[in-house]
Amino acid sequence: MFVRLAEQHRQFVQDLVMNLQALATVLENRGYLASCYTCGGQMNSASFMVSLGDDHLIRFLVSDYGITWTEMRDDRELMKLEGAEAINQLQELANLVKYQIKPSNSQQSLLHPV
């Protein structure tokens, strides 16, 4: 049973990494500064970052050890989430792409108005 669960977890992480890479590409095409870096060819971890403008940065890390969403503004941490909550926040970011919201220097925050 545990071997099966471990393999399912590895597959989940790989799927998440592939989706992060795709999201970074789409965000770049929409005018955002975005990147997704992976370590090695096995796609078992990734570092995803996107700038939403006005020194507003999102960092999403995924690996076998966990999943973390960190949102920063002016080099200060606004919010840090882990696990399912981090993935839910990633869905909000994906919705920005889905509904084609463009980056703007005048917006304070696309995800959390200040």
Is position 18 within any domain? yes
Is position 21 within any domain? yes
Number of domains in the chain: 1
pLDDT in tens, the chain (114 residues): 999 999 999 999 999 999 999 999 999 998 899 999 998 788 899 999 999 888 999 999 999 889 999 999 999 999 999 999 999 999 999 998 888 766 554 333 445 444
Is position 33 within any domain? yes
Range of the domain at 71: 2-98
pTM score above 0.95? no
Helix (H, G, I), strand (E, B) or coil at 10: helix
Is position 107 within any domain? no
Is position 66 within any domain? yes
In angstroms, rounded to a whole number, what is the distance separating the alpha carbons of residues 64 and 73? 27
Structure-token match 């949102």, residue found:
71
Structure-token match 């696309």, residue found:
110
